[in-house]
Amino acid sequence: MVPQLKMVPLLNGSSVATNASTTATVDLLGFDWATIDVFGATAAVTAQPTVLQLGEGDTTSAFTAIVAFTGGTATSTSVGFVIPAQITTTGVFYGVKFNVDARARKRYLQLSVGSPGATTVTSAVANLGKGEQAPVTAAKAGVQALVEG
């Protein structure tokens, strides 16, 4: 079985200014799980984010941070993972994949990315799936072309 997912672009090479942040929201209605890939993949990245987290909410106006999906410099009761250090040898300057069981979450997820004392360029995409239903058209998959083999 080839997994078929709905792709939802969240951040498309978004420039996050020094000591600023940006957010993006995804609707989980009708999906059982999501993977969210967050990465910096341009030479403009001079450091990894200092804020990287997912929050959840019943509406798009109020979100509560999810500890397991909150990054920081060390794990604690309020930080679930360590944000990886910047690397430059692989062409991806930092990268994090969130695997989310959407059945255990509220309807909306909000990705928050905050920059350190330097501008970062961040991209993010969500892939949404439902166990017993797969998108069979490009429109349902959230893309222009759906290629199978």
139 phi-psi bin (left φ>0, alpha ψ -120 to 50, beta other): alpha
pLDDT, greater one: 22 or 95: 22
Using alpha carbons, list the distances in angstroms from residue 101 to 36, 60, 135: 11, 19, 19
Give per-residue pLDDT as tens, 26-77.
999 989 999 898 887 665 556 678 889 999 999 999 999 999 999 988 889 9
Looking at the predicted structure, is the pLDDT value of residue 149 above 50? no
Give per-residue pLDDT as tens, 79-97.
998 888 776 665 556 778 8
Looking at the predicted structure, is the pLDDT value of residue 23 above 50? yes
DSSP code for 133 = B
Q: Which residues contact 77 (CB under 8 A, 6 or more apart)?
A: 67
> Which pLDDT score, from 0 to 100, does residue 56 have?
97
Dist. CA 67–CA 54, nearest whole Å: 8
- pLDDT-derived band at 105 (thresholds 50, 70, 90) equals very high
Could you give all domains of the chain from N- to C-terminal order, each with its CATH number? Answer: 6-130 (2.60.120.380)
DSSP code for 147 = -
Instruction: Over range 121-144, report the average pLDDT.
Output: 74
Partnered with residue 124 across adjacent β-strands are 11, 38
- Half-sphere exposure of residue 94: CA atoms within 13 angstroms, side-chain side: 24
Which among 128, 124, 132, 146 has a CA at the least distance from the CA of 9?
124
Looking at the predicted structure, is the pLDDT value of residue 135 above 60? no
Instruction: Over range 134-146, report the average pLDDT.
Output: 63
